[in-house]
């Protein structure tokens, strides 16, 4: 009886795509600006074209950073600039994300501080003046 239940559990997991260990999934990288006033400018080297890309994301917007599907396991390093007024200010540190399916990086604000979150990592943006 136990063997039968175990066999059904294994077959069910395989049918749901959970039974075979695989590498990271291909996907795209997005940026969601979850602020109501600030603008983000993200620069990075596009892993598909090896060219520098610049994407601006306004308040409440979500934009795709990569133009094509990126192979799973690819590390994309984002340099983030933030504008809360007239000029964009570079921030530290850079943020590296590893593609494992679609990845959404979120820019957010708490009080006077700005953060960027990717998955379970969150970093505070330190503004250069």
The tally of domains found in the chain comes to: 1
pLDDT at position 26 over 80: yes
39 in any annotated domain? yes
Q: Which pLDDT score, from 0 to 100, does residue 20 have?
A: 39
- Picking from 120, 37, 114, 34, the residue whose alpha carbon sits closest to that of residue 80 is 114
Cβ partners under 8 Å of residue 86, min gap 6:
none
For the residues 108-123, what does the mean pLDDT come to? 82
Tell me the per-residue pLDDT of 33-74, one tens digit each, with 9 for 90 and over. 999 888 999 999 887 788 899 999 999 999 999 888 999 999
Task: Look at residue 6 and tell me whether its pLDDT is greater than 50.
Answer: no
pLDDT of residue 22: 83
Tell the residue number behind the tokens 């109501």, with chain if given.
36
Whole-angstrom distance, CA of residue 37 vs CA of residue 50: 32
Q: Is the pLDDT of residue 5 over 80?
A: no
* pLDDT greater than 60 at residue 3: no
pLDDT of residue 105: 94
Query: How far is Cα 54 from Cα 118, in angstroms, rounded to an integer?
Result: 19
Residue 106 in any domain: the answer is: yes
Q: Is residue 79 part of a domain?
A: yes
> Is 121 inside a domain boundary?
yes
Lowest mean pLDDT among 31-35, 103-107, 118-122, 125-129: 125-129
67 is a domain residue:
yes
> Rounded distance, CA 4 to CA 41, Å?
56
Question: What is the span of the domain harbouring residue 102?
Answer: 23-127
CATH classification of the domain holding 115: 2.60.40
Establish if 93 belongs to a structural domain: yes
pLDDT tens by residue, 65-107: 988 899 999 999 999 888 877 777 777 778 889 999 999 999 9
In a domain, 3, yes or no: no
> Token pair 């957010």 is at which residue?
108
Residue 43 lies in a domain: yes
């Amino acid at each position: 009886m136990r063997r039968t239940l175990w066999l059904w559990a294994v077959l069910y997991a395989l049918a749901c795509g959970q039974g075979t260990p695989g590498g990271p999934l291909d996907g795209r990288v997005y940026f969601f600006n979850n602020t109501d006033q600030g603008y983000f400018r993200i620069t990075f080297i596009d892993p598909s074209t090896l060219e520098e890309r610049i994407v601006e994301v306004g308040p409440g917007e979500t934009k795709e950073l990569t133009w094509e599907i990126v192979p799973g396991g690819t590390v994309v390093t984002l340099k983030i600039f933030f504008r809360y007024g007239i000029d964009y200010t570079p921030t530290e540190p850079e943020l590296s994300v590893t593609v494992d399916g679609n990845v959404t990086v979120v820019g957010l604000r708490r009080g006077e501080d700005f953060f960027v979150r990717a998955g379970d990592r969150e970093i505070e943006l330190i503004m250069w003046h």
